[in-house]
Each structure stands twice: as C-alpha cells, then as structure tokens.
Amino acid sequence: MKKFIVPFLCLFIIVLVAINHTKLVDFATKVFTNKQHLNILAGNEYTKSNDYLYVQRSNDYTPLGYQDVLNIYYSIINNHWDTFTFYCPSEYSSCIDDITKLSDSSLTLSNINNFVHPYNSFTNIKTTIDSNGEIIVKVSYLYTKDQINYINNEVDRIISENYNSELNTKENLKNIHDYIINNTKYDVDYEKNKPLQTYNAYGALKEHLATCNGYSDLMAIILSKLNINNYKIAYNPGENKETEGHVWNAAYIDGSWLHIDLTWDDPVGDGRDYLYHKYFLVNTEEMKEADTGNIQVIEHDFDKKVYQEF
C-alpha cells in the first residue's frame, strides 16, 4: 500500500503546483526580491502625455528614490486608476518611510493633483502600506461621468461661439476668458452653497457661480481641449490664518509659461460687474506688479520648488 501512497502524493503536489503556479511564483518573487508583476493598464482619454519639472510620467513602477515615488503617484492619478499596487525594492531602504511621508502630506498630494487634467483629479486618496513593502493606492475622483458629459457639451459650445480660426491663440483665449467672467460670478457664500458644487467646473457652468477652483478647473478643461499644455498653480496659506488658499492657471503659449487668473480678473467689489485683464497671460513679474495696486494681493505667493516652470 505504501508504494502507492508516495507516487500519489508526488502527483498531488505536482498538480497543486501546476494549478497555483502563478501565485507561488509571485509569492517567491515577493519574498526574495520584494518585487511582483505589476498590472499596468492604459490611462483614460484625459490622461496627459506631459512631463513637468516637478513630476514626470513613470516608465518603471519600482521606485528607487523619492522622485520616483512622486512620479508613481502622479502617474496613478494622471491615468485615472482606481487602485494600483506596487512594491518597495530591498535596495531602496527608506522607501516605506518616504511613501508614508508623501501619503500623509495633503499638501504634497494636492500639489501633484494640480498637474493632472481636472477630470482625473482626486477627492480622496488612500495608501495602504504593508511591512513587506507592498503599497496599495486607492483613489476616488472628483467628477462623475454625467458631469463630464455635461461639461464637455458646454465647453464645445463655448469654444464654437468664441473661437475664431482667423485669430491667434492669445486673442481666442481672451474671448474665452471674457466669456467665462461675463457668465460667472464669484461665489461669496460657497460654504452655504456647497451642494451647488461651485468649487468645480460643473458648478461654474451649471450655476454660473464659482470659487477659484471652479474658475481654474473650467479654464484648464478648455485649455486641454485646445491642446494647450497647462496645469493649475496653488497658493497654500499654511499657518497664515489671515489668508485663504488660492488656485489659478498656468498655460504654455508661444514658448513661454504664463499665468491666467480668472478669479482676480473677476473681482468681488461694490456689487458691480468687473472684467479685467490684469492677470491674463502674464509672466510672474507682471503678475507681481498687478498684485501691488490699491489692494495688496498675497495669494500669488506660490511654491517655486513645485511650479518650477516659473
């Protein structure tokens, strides 16, 4: 009887190994090299093909330094992946510490978020870190499919009504800049109006009310629709309780990076409607000069380590 048991056990083990071959290989790979096969999917139609000085698209999702970690997070968000798993290699000794530092920093994550298309920007991002070096990133995104469809239809209409092929890029953008301001008011009661979503492009178009986020998202969507390289720039007040955060647009026009701030070109004043061009396609020096008028503007004090193009 024993002579039949041993061959039977051997056959059983062979079958078991064959069935679970992939899992066993992945397990062994993880144990000995701390790497696994990564499930790399294509990005969606709003995935940017741009690299910036602060973040670049990842070609290899095995990080070897902090910049690689930044790039991986940028790529996850930029590709609109709901969940993504990658691994810390053994040779990157501070990998888990660096990922913990980044994932715990709402400011750093917000900075990364400003470089992606608004449709791929997140509302929540959660990182799970395993002691063995497995990193799982789960992302919730801001815009719904219905909102995107609505915005796209409105953006197509705005461009068709305000874009003239006989004009140059700056002239066409000026027409669009003016249209947005003439059809949108700054939402001074945004805390009370949160259900209206005036903090994004949907609220700006649907309700004709917007905070700086709504203005800048709408302009970013239009710039991307026109194939103009762009991102959003943010001022973070930190511990300065006397100021609020602010966000505006950066656009690459005729070989230069320039600022567009629709919020400050549509200021809240004495109840009258205003339309300025002080912050339309200006360089940093010109923006600072515009900030030093009768009303001192400090919300353009951006982090040059992040927005390095300026």
Question: pLDDT, tens digit, for every residue of 142-199?
Answer: 999 999 999 999 999 999 999 999 999 999 999 999 999 999 999 999 888 888 899 9
Q: What is the DSSP letter of 84?
A: E
> How far is it, in rounded angstroms, from Cα 55 to Cα 307?
10
9 lies in some domain: no
Q: How far apart are CA 83 and CA 175, in angstroms?
A: 40
Total domains, the chain: 2
CA 206 to chain centre: 22
- 268, part of any domain: yes
Neighbours of 107 (CB within 10 A): 12
Instruction: Order the strands of the 134-141 sheet from edge to edge.
Output: 83-87, 134-141, 122-129
The whole-number pLDDT of residue 193 equals: 80
**Whether residue 216 sits in one domain with residue 201:** yes
Strands 230-235 and 122-129: unpaired
pLDDT band at 105 (very low <50, low <70, confident <90, very high): very high
Q: Is 305 within the bounds of a domain? A: no
- Please check whether residues 134 and 191 belong to one and the same domain: no
Same domain, 132 and 158: no
CATH code at 165?
3.10.620.30
Q: How high is the pLDDT of residue 252?
A: 98
Range of the domain at 111: 34-141
Answering whether pTM is above 0.85, one says yes
Q: Give domain status of residue 298, yes or no.
A: no
The per-residue pLDDT for 33 is 46
pLDDT at residue number 239: 65
Phi, psi (rounded to 5 degrees) for 87: -135, 145
Instruction: Give residue-wise pLDDT tens across range 255-291.
Output: 999 999 999 999 886 667 889 999 999 999 999 999 9
- Tell me, yes or no, whether 299 lies in a domain: no
306, part of any domain: no
Closest CA to 246 of 264, 230, 270: 264
Percentage helix, strand, coil, to 5, in the chain? Answer: 40, 15, 40
Answer yes or no: do 180 and 234 share one domain.
Answer: yes
Alpha-carbon span 50 to 56, nearest angstrom: 7
What single DSSP character describes residue 105?
-
Answer yes or no: do 136 and 158 share one domain.
no
pLDDT tens column, 18-52:
565 544 444 444 444 444 667 788 899 999 999 99
pLDDT digits (tens, 9 = 90+) for 206-257: 999 999 999 999 999 999 999 999 999 999 987 666 678 999 999 999 999 9
